[in-house]
């Protein structure tokens, strides 16, 4: 019985601290709409590479939230947003002002495959996307000449 207890005491700590790392500093910064976790001085980690993808185990990965937009041209008069991000059933494309020309959108997955596209004729357009699987997507808003205005990275829960 004594040997079993000693063996359990030797094995149990390896399971309890499996996700723990020894860092020189770190913590969480909590704001109204975000949580930012950071660590400094993490020494041990493993990188796996299969030729196409890299995974860094044990290293904190960046999470991009709301407000991620890539402006494709220098048109200062066009202000729009896409929300919510992350989304579940629908996305809303909202222009700050009434639109004077028709726009369109293209929703693609991370490999660039077109998932959905449509017209934008109102300054607020709701896009139903409840059929999509959980993944990252990009939505690009284009003007009437099919020129990209802005691209947003979206996350589907």
* CATH code assigned at 96: 2.60.40.1220
Query: 74 and 51, same structural domain?
Result: no
Label residues 19-34 b or e (16+ Cβ within 10 Å = b). eeeeeeeeeeeeeeee
Query: 119 and 87, same structural domain?
Result: yes
- Residue 48, pLDDT above cutoff 90: no
Query: 147 and 103, same structural domain?
Result: yes
Query: 139 and 109, same structural domain?
Result: yes
- Residue 124, pLDDT above cutoff 80: yes
Question: Which structural domain, as residue segments, surrounds residue 96?
Answer: 69-156
pTM: 0.54
Query: 76 and 53, same structural domain?
Result: no
- Residue 106, pLDDT above cutoff 90: yes
Query: 53 and 127, same structural domain?
Result: no
Query: 53 and 78, same structural domain?
Result: no
Q: Is 29 helix (H, G, I), strand (E, B) or coil?
A: strand
pLDDT at 54: 62
Task: Taking residues 19-24, report their average pLDDT.
Answer: 58
Please choose, from the candidates 156, 115, 106, 113, the residue with its C-alpha nearest in 3D space to the C-alpha of residue 135.
156
Q: Please say which residue of 14, 33, 57 terminates a domain.
A: 57
Query: 139 and 76, same structural domain?
Result: yes
What average pLDDT is seen over the chain? Answer: 76
Asked if residue 62 is part of any domain, the answer here is no
How many domains is the chain built from?
2
Query: Picking from 38-47, 67-76, 141-150, which range would have the lowest pLDDT averaged per residue?
Result: 67-76
pLDDT at 129: 92
120 CB neighbour count, 10 Å cutoff: 20
- Residue 53, pLDDT above cutoff 80: no
Asked if residue 117 is part of any domain, the answer here is yes
pLDDT digit string, tens, across residues 59-84: 555 544 444 555 555 455 678 889 88
Higher pLDDT, 19 or 94: 94
Asked if residue 36 is part of any domain, the answer here is yes
Query: Picking from 45-49, 105-109, 124-128, 130-134, which range would have the lowest pLDDT averaged per residue?
Result: 45-49
Query: Picking from 12-21, 70-79, 101-110, 118-127, which range would have the lowest pLDDT averaged per residue?
Result: 12-21
Q: Enter the tokens of residue 64.
A: 């991009």
Query: 81 and 41, same structural domain?
Result: no
Asked if residue 64 is part of any domain, the answer here is no
Asked if residue 129 is part of any domain, the answer here is yes
């Amino acid at each position: 019985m004594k040997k079993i207890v000693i063996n359990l005491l030797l094995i149990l700590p390896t399971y309890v601290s499996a996700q723990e790392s020894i860092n020189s500093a770190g913590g969480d910064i909590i704001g109204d709409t975000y949580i930012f976790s950071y660590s400094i001085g993490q020494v041990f980690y493993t990188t796996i590479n299969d030729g196409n993808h890299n995974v860094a185990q044990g290293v904190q990965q960046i999470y991009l939230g709301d407000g991620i937009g890539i402006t494709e041209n220098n048109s200062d008069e066009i202000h729009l947003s896409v929300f919510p991000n992350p989304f579940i059933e629908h996305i809303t494309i909202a222009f700050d002002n009434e639109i004077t020309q028709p726009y369109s959108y293209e929703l693609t997955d991370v490999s660039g495959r077109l998932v959905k596209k449509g017209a934008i004729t109102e300054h607020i357009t709701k896009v139903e996307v409840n059929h999509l699987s959980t993944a990252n997507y990009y939505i690009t808003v284009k003007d009437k000449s099919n020129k990209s205005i802005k691209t947003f990275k979206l996350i589907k829960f």
